[in-house]
Structure 1
C-alpha cells in the first residue's frame, strides 16, 4: 500500500512540476540582469536558477511612480467587486432556491440565459450607459458592471438547494423569520461556496484587462494589469526581458498567495457539492 502511494505521488509530481516550469522560469528570469538575458535565457539549469542574481528589475519597476498606485487600484477594485458579487449572489441565490414569489421561474431562466451571453457583447451598451452617467474614470465604473454575474447566482442557488430543508423548517418552527434564517443559518452553512466564489471573483477581477481598458482612460485609474501593459506596450519596445518577467510576477503574486491561503475552502466546497449531488 505504501509503495503504491509513493508511486502515485511520484507520478502526480512529475506533471505538476512540468506545469510549474513556465512559472518558475518567469520568476527566475525576473531576478537576472537584462544584459545577461540579452545573450541567453538558459544560463544556469535551463534558466530556472537566477544567476547572476539581481533585484534591479523590481526596483526599476516600482521606481516608476504610478506602479504602487496601480497596485492599490487593483486591490480596491478586486475587493469591491468581490464583496459586491457575494452580496448579490448570496441573496439572489437564496431567494431563487428557497423562496416562492411571482416571476421566480422567469428570473431563473434569465439567469441561465445570462450564462450563455459573452461578456464582450455587453461592452458597447455598458460603455454608453456609463458615459451618459459620466462615471468613466472612477472606481464605481470599474466595479459596478461586474457585480451582476449569472454564474455566481447559479452557484449559490445550487448550493442552497442542496442544503436539507429540515434545517430551515426547524428554524421556522421556532418562529424565526426568513431573513434571520438566511443570516444565521444559511450563510454559515454556505461559507465554503462563498469562499470559492470570492476566490474566483477576486482572481477574475485582478486579471481583468478588457473592461478597465475601455472604462479607464486616465492613468490614475489604471489597474495593475492595464498599467503594466501600458508601460511595456510590447516586447520589442520593453526595457528588457527581466523587466517583463518582473511585471508578470508582480501582477500574479497576490492571487497566487490568496489561493494558497484559502485553497482548503475550494476543496471543501467541491467535496460538499459532490457529496450532496
Structure 2
C-alpha cells in the first residue's frame, strides 16, 4: 500500500462524512416549566411559614392594648394604632439599652473582622513554626460551647473588676474561630502571584496586607461583619451574666427585664412594638448588605 502524502490524507479526511457528536436527550419544555413552578411554590410556602411569627408580632404591635386584653389571635389587626410604637422609648431605659447595643455591636464587629482578617492572612500566606498546631487549636474552639466558658470568663472579668462595663460585653466576643476559618479560606484562594507582584514593586508585608489583601477580601469581610453584628445584637446570655445594672443592659436583656414587670407584661401591644423596634436594625442591615453577603459567601466557598 503506497504511502499517502499529507495533502492526500487531508483530502481523504474531507471526503469522510462528518459525524455529529452525540446529543443528550432534551427534557420537554413542559416538564421544565412544571418543575420550576413546583420549586417556586415550595419556596413561597416555606417563606410564608417563616414569616408568620414576624407578621403576627407586627399585627399585635399595631393593635390597641384594650383589644388585646380579650383577643390576641389573627394576623390582621381589628384596629390600627401607633401608640405602641410611639411609647417604645418612653418606658424604662430603652434609649440607653439601644445605645448600649449599638456601641457593643459596632465595636465588636469592627474589631472581630479586623482581627480575623489578620489571623486568616497569617494562616493562609505566612509560614511560621507551629502554624498547623496553632490553626488546629483555633478551629478546636468551634467545638466548645460558649456556655461552658461562662464561669471562667465571669471569674476573670470579676478579678479585673470589669463587669457592668463595655469591655466586659465586647472582649469575650472577639475570639471568633469561625471568622478566622472563613478569612483563611478566602486568603488561601488568592493567587501567590499577587503577593509576588507586590514584593517586586517594593511593598512590604504590612503594605501588601492593607493595600492589596484587604481590598480583595472586602466581600468576605462584609459577610463576616454581618454575621458578627447579628450574633452580637441578639446575644442574651453573656450580657445577662455580666451586666447586672439596668443602665448597662443591652436591648435583649432590657426587653426581657420588662417582661417580668406585670404592668408591662399585660400591655402586649407595647411589648411587641419594642420587639419590632429591637429587630429593625437587623432587618435594615440585611436589606442594605444582602448583595455583599451573598457575594462574600460565594467567594469564601470558592464559587466564581
TM-score (norm 1): 0.92
Q: Helix, strand or coil: the match of 1:238?
A: helix
Q: Distance in 1 between matches of 2:253 and 2:138?
A: 30
- Residue matched to 1:95: 122
Give CA deviations for 1:88-113 in whole Å, capped at 9, x if unaligned: 10111111111011221221011011
SS at match of 2:155: helix
Contact 1:137 1:215 in 2 (8 A): yes
Residue 174 of structure 2: which of 128, 147, 155 is its match?
147
1:121 maps onto 2:152 in alignment: no
Match for 1:250 among 277, 280, 291?
Answer: 277
Mapping of 1:77-226 within 5 angstroms? 77-226=104-253
Q: Is the 8 A contact 1:136 1:215 kept in 2?
A: yes
Corresponding residue number in structure 1 for 2:61: 30
Report if aligned partners of 1:92, 1:153 keep a CA contact under 8 Å in 2. yes
For residue 121 of structure 1, report the CA deviation from its aligned partner.
1.0
- CA distance, structure 2, for counterparts of residue 225 and residue 36 of structure 1: 27
Match of 2:75?
48
In 1, the alpha carbon distance for the partners of 2:296 and 2:208 equals 21
- Tell me, which stretches of 5 or more residues in structure 2 are unaligned? 1-28
1:66 aligns with one of 93, 113, 135: 93
What number of residue pairs does the alignment pair up?
273
> Measured at CA, do residues 54 and 15 of structure 1 come closer, stay the same or move farther in structure 2, by a change above 3 Å?
same
- 2:100 and 2:72 map into 1 onto residues whose CA distance is 33
Unmatched segments (≥5 aa) in structure 1: none
Contact 2:164–2:243 (Cα < 8 Å) also in 1:
yes
Partners of 1:14 and 1:236 in 2: CA distance? 38
Give the CA deviation at 1:184.
Answer: 1.0
Range with bigger deviation, 72-81 or 248-257: 248-257
- Quick check: which has more Rg, 1 or 2? 2
Note if contact 1:112-1:154 (Cα within 8 Å) is conserved in structure 2.
yes
After TM superposition, give the deviation of residue 274 of structure 1 in Å.
3.6
List per-residue Cα deviations over 1:198-250 (Å, max 9, x = no partner).
00000001000111111111111100111111111278971222122112212
RMSD: 2.0
Structure with greater helix share of residues: 1
Q: Comparing 50-59 with 139-148, which one deviates more in the overlay?
A: 50-59
Q: What SS does the aligned partner of 1:70 have?
A: helix
TM-score between the two structures when normalised by the length of structure 2 = 0.84
How far apart in 2 are the matches of 1:272 and 1:96?
A: 18
**Which 4+ stretches in 1 moved above 6 angstroms?**
234-237
